[in-house]
Amino acid sequence: MQKAAGATGSKGSSGGGRRQATKAKLYEAAVTLIAEQGFSATTVDEIAERAGVAKGTVYYNFASKAELFEELLRYGVGLLTESLQRAADDTERSGGTKVAALDAMIRAGLDFIATYPSFTQLYVAELWRTGRAWQSTLLVVRQQAVAVVEEVLREGVAAGELSDEIDIPLTAAALVGMVLVAALDWQAFQPERSIDDVHAALSRLLQGRVGGSRA
């Protein structure tokens, strides 16, 4: 996940930038290893080796492997949330409708998943697990991503673009879930399809199920 290392910001100094770059390497190493062999089987030594740093560097940045994974979830879902918000904001600036904003968010979600497939697999798997130390963190960051979609839906209903019968929380969760599951299915079972093709299919589904004015 090094491509977006700057997305979480820095302390404004070269030292802060170096530490953020190191964290990005550790996130990348951890997400790849855990996706390959599971959380329990992955060791701090392996994460350090994959990241190309000393084992002590891991513990300098994170108190434990569990803390590293928890922060990885925050970091990755934070990037997803930022990409969804940016898509909504860009559509609003260009004068697009709320349905167009939702469509742009679908594309942004697909782009994110295509860029970070290992993280997405890990995130979706963790959503279904219980009893994890980071469960509360996972619920919080999930809601942050869903809340971005909820806001666009709420604005669409208020503007009369969308039916006021829409269950906003459930519809927002369904749209985010649709993108996650459809994208993983695409990558695992239909990799020959282009991202444009997948986006077009989900766009048609959005238009049919969510689009439309009040009666």
In the predicted structure, residue 24 carries a pLDDT above the cut 50: yes
Comparing C-alpha atoms, which of 88, 82, 77 is closest to residue 142? 77
Structural domains for the chain: 14-62 (1.10.10.60), 65-206 (1.10.357.10)
Q: Give me the mean pLDDT over the 46-65 stretch.
A: 94
Task: State which of 39-43, 72-76, 91-95 shows the largest mean pLDDT.
Answer: 91-95
Residue 201 half-sphere exposure toward CB, CA atoms < 13 A: 11
Q: How confident is the model at residue 125 (pLDDT cuts 50, 70, 90)?
A: confident
In the predicted structure, residue 97 carries a pLDDT above the cut 80: yes
pLDDT score, position 9:
44
Comparing C-alpha atoms, which of 209, 208, 183, 211 is closest to residue 197? 183
Q: Please, what is the average pLDDT of the chain?
A: 88
Lowest model confidence (mean pLDDT) among 57-66, 120-129, 181-190, 191-200: 120-129
Render the burial of 169-198: b for 16+ CB within 10 Å, e for the rest.
eebbbebbebbbebbeebbeeeeeeeeeeb
- Assess contact for 38 and 16: CB atoms under 8 A: no
- Assess contact for 160 and 179: CB atoms under 8 A: no
